[in-house]
Structure 1
Amino acid sequence: MKTKVPLELEKVNLRLKSAKTKVTIRESNGSLQLRATLPIKPGDKDKNGTGRKQYNLSLNIPANLDGLKTAEEEAYELGKLIARKTFEWNDKYLGNETIKKSFKTIGELLEKFEDEYFKTHQRTTKSEHTFFYYFSRTKRFTNPQELASSENLINSIEKIDKEWSRYNAARAIAAFCQAFNIEVDLSLYSKMPENNTRNIPTDVEIFAGFSRFENYQINRGNQVNENVRDSWQLWRWAYSMLAVFGLRPRELFINPDVEWWLSKENIDLTWKVHKDCKTGERQALPLYKQWILEFDLRNPKYLEMLATAISKKDNSNHAEITALTQRVSWWFRKIGLDFKPYDLRHAWAIRAHILGIPIKAAADNLGHSVQVHTQTYQRWFSLDMRKLAINQALSKKDEVELIREENAKLKMENERLKLEIDKLKMELVYKHS
């Protein structure tokens, strides 16, 4: 049978060619398909501008001798439609599943994305955060009016200029396609970009950034709505908290424990990260406690402003919280900082490394694994940061050598004093004798 089917298939295609039928039959994965050049399928792109494209039509015909008879009949029928120019895409040629997908827009599927995603994922705080990441980026980088075809989705990715944005969009769209069983090959965009730059601020630059908020307020003029005249103070407070604790921006806004932060019992000056955040609850410690005082971070005025800002938001809604975190980023740009909120988190990790804090302790404080800490954060060790780390290490070495030298000198001095004492003792014995 295995040898008869290919031989018979070749004969069928010769008959179709002799009859000038513009259709051929091919075998694929145990089924027979009709191959023909047809009008562009709904949801497909006309890249060549011809209005036509070659398609393989799978009609669920098995690749056996009986199937060949059926396929030949279907080929003649399709050939007649093509010759008469009466071919139309219908359920038969699209297939039930295909036609359902073809006529759904990206926007329509986005409305159902959450329900479909959580049919195959357990709903947890972390998975909700991951879903919103996929949802927001798919929505941002695609056109909701376009049909949810593989070509439209790939074209959306190819329009993105920045490598990391393209990579992140591809990850999100891959999850979107998986939820709706959309066949798409995104392997070209799945490799993490090798080159990326971050501007990790030094401690001096962090202090300079703190000052920029008030400088902006002084220089912006008086044409400002009275209700938001002092709002810059809240965003300066947020900026400083990110620098002091290395927090993720949303960890400031998801159910913050303001009472604990201002409590006299909080002797270690920790910020409590709520359990609904990405990696669950933890108490974050500052590296430099003096920054809390210098930045006035426990001023009740700023905490009241925080409470007012989050009272207008739904803390269970990732979109609402994202609006607040985007506001933080907006203020960074507004006052002219050349680094981003997450760069302060990287700066915390690097500073901890320079100070000699064990990796596990630093990773726990930032709320991620040791693997993430070593692979992701330490890669941003700039030349200046490396110089600083090396110089500090050498300084410590110099201090140790200095102490050793001092100890050696003291030992020699002790030996000299012992000799002096022994000599005095001998002289006293000599006098008394």
Structure 2
Amino acid sequence: MDSPVDTKIAQINQRLKLAQLGLQIERRGQKLGLRGTLPPRLGSDRLKPYQQRLSLGFPATTAGLKQAEQEVKVIAGQLIENRFDWRNYVAGVGWGRLDQLGLTQQIRAFERHFKNEPKRASNPTSTQTTWEFAYAPYLRKLEAIAESNPSLSLVEAIYATVRTTEVNSRSRQVCCTAFTAFATFIQLALPEDLKNYWGSYGTTQTQVRDLPPDELILQTWAAIPNPSWQFVYGIMATYGLRNHEVFFSDYSALQSGSEPTIQVLSTTKTGLHEVWPFHPDWIDRFNLRSGTLPPIQTDLAKTTLQRVGQLVSVQFRRYNLPFSPYDLRHAWAVRTIHIGLPDTVAARMMGHSVGVHTRTYHQWMTRRDQQQAVDNALARRR
């Protein structure tokens, strides 16, 4: 025997059918949803509308049914006018329209959307790292500011959060990027483009670094007491890898002696790519064909790329090395410029764009580097 709620659902659905709205209300447990022909969801491979379910989030009560019937009529109108947008609706227990959710639920919905976007879903490890360090910190700060200042609208809270970051800094740029994406997702109109808050930060403001010369790199390797960390150091110096990439690379070709290359795996920040050594003779100098990695946690279900990279920096400080791990990577990049390797090739091996490569590394050419480049060019003419 049908419950009173089910009887009322049948009555409402009869009215919706007579109105030819093409949608029906259904009860799933203690919550109400609808079923009908809807456009493909964001990221779907489907091209045409098809039968789908949508959670309305209303309770299966008399009051909830009244709200559900009204919402179905709103959605039917959006479908007729071709204005229906899946971003207004979120699949989650007790959730309904996105614009009716609280800030915390909106952020949770945005996180789900961010991680499931097709362009990111293929590399979940990199996506998780990006979320944790480039989006989540600023969204948590937004929640805290909104909670402590209830008189502020969400738009005002966003601008207030942006202003807590340092002017002309990388953190402000990342903050603005995160909030622009969040506002776009929840369809929140920002009266002023957050790019106007970026300031003058950019690679052109990056300070020229005094990178270690090859002689110092060789001397420093010899001062590391642990063979496994010598291997990490030697790989970074010879192949220009990021800190974490050392632990997520395939060394089989190198260690079998078939090829001097290594392959950075797809689980890293920039995905699968192959790298050649510069200088090749450092392979033997640093015993890279027989080296082994230190036993650290690399299960990405239990750690992150960022944490793995931080362990490398900790070891450099522990051994009192005279420069940072990334200086080895940057020295490798400048070395390829001296050698005359095309920027397109070097950028591919470093896992970034040609634009980033030229803007970043060509400006780090010190007078010493320029003199070396001139000497090399003249030597080739002899």
TM-score (norm 2): 0.60
* Aligned residue number for residue 286 of structure 1: 277
Tell me the distance in 2 between the aligned counterparts of 1:338 and 1:112: 45
Tell me the distance in 2 between the aligned counterparts of 1:328 and 1:172: 28
* Aligned residue number for residue 186 of structure 1: 194
Query: Which of 244, 248, 253 lines up with 2:247 in the alignment?
Result: 253
* Aligned residue number for residue 343 of structure 1: 327
Query: Which of 365, 380, 383 lines up with 2:364 in the alignment?
Result: 380
CA contact (8 A) 2:125 2:304 kept: no
Q: 1:121 to 1:182 in 2, by over 3 A?
A: farther
CA contact (8 A) 1:125 1:278 kept: no
Aligned pair 1:361/2:345, yes or no?
A: yes
Aligned pair 1:195/2:205, yes or no?
A: yes
Query: Which of 108, 113, 116 lines up with 1:116 in the alignment?
Result: 113
1:251-273: CA deviations, max 9, x gaps? 2223x33444422xx33321122
CA contact (8 A) 1:114 1:131 kept: no
> 1:170 Cα deviation (Å)?
2.5
Tell me the distance in 1 between the aligned counterparts of 2:268 and 2:237: 19
Note the 1:297-336 alignment, pairs <5 A: 297-300=288-291, 302-303=292-293, 305=294, 308-309=295-296, 312-315=297-300, 320-336=304-320
Q: 1:207 to 1:198 in 2, by over 3 A?
A: farther
CA contact (8 A) 1:250 1:321 kept: yes
1:309-342: CA deviations, max 9, x gaps? 2xx433467x522210121123334444564433
* Aligned residue number for residue 130 of structure 2: 133
* Aligned residue number for residue 172 of structure 1: 178
Tell me the distance in 2 between the aligned counterparts of 1:235 and 1:110: 40
Q: Which has the larger radius of gyration?
A: 1
Tell me, what secondary structure is at the counterpart of 1:289? coil
CA contact (8 A) 2:125 2:300 kept: no
1:347-401: CA deviations, max 9, x gaps? 212111111223343333334444443333323222322222123323444xx2x
Tell me, what secondary structure is at the counterpart of 2:348? helix
Aligned pair 1:205/2:216, yes or no?
A: yes
Q: 1:212 to 1:178 in 2, by over 3 A?
A: farther
* Aligned residue number for residue 76 of structure 2: none
* Aligned residue number for residue 160 of structure 2: 155
Q: 1:363 to 1:132 in 2, by over 3 A?
A: same
Tell me the distance in 1 between the aligned counterparts of 2:128 and 2:187: 17
Task: Extract unaligned runs of 5+ from structure 2.
Answer: 1-96, 148-153
Q: 1:290 to 1:374 in 2, by over 3 A?
A: same
1:153-181: CA deviations, max 9, x gaps? 43333333371232233223332333333
> 1:244 Cα deviation (Å)?
0.5
CA contact (8 A) 2:99 2:186 kept: no
Task: Extract unaligned runs of 5+ from structure 1.
Answer: 1-95, 215-231, 401-433
**The 10-residue stretch of structure 1 (199-208 or 143-152) with the greater mean CA deviation from structure 2:** 143-152
Looking at secondary structure, tell me which structure has more helix per residue. Answer: 1
> 1:241 Cα deviation (Å)?
1.0
Tell me the distance in 1 between the aligned counterparts of 2:223 and 2:173: 33
State the one-letter code of the partner of 2:224: F
1:119-144: CA deviations, max 9, x gaps? 65434445863563244223334435
Q: 1:138 to 1:281 in 2, by over 3 A?
A: closer
State the one-letter code of the partner of 1:151: E
Tell me, what secondary structure is at the counterpart of 1:377? helix
Tell me the distance in 2 between the aligned counterparts of 1:234 and 1:177: 46
Q: How many residues align?
A: 272
Percent identity of paired positions between Structure 1 and Structure 2: 27
State the one-letter code of the partner of 1:287: F
Tell me the distance in 1 between the aligned counterparts of 2:127 and 2:117: 13
> 1:245 Cα deviation (Å)?
0.5
CA contact (8 A) 1:121 1:127 kept: no
CA contact (8 A) 1:251 1:277 kept: yes
Tell me, what secondary structure is at the counterpart of 1:213? coil
> 1:195 Cα deviation (Å)?
1.5
TM-score (norm 1): 0.53
* Aligned residue number for residue 244 of structure 1: 238
> 1:240 Cα deviation (Å)?
2.1
**The 10-residue stretch of structure 1 (384-393 or 174-183) with the greater mean CA deviation from structure 2:** 174-183
* Aligned residue number for residue 431 of structure 1: none
CA RMSD between the two structures: 3.3
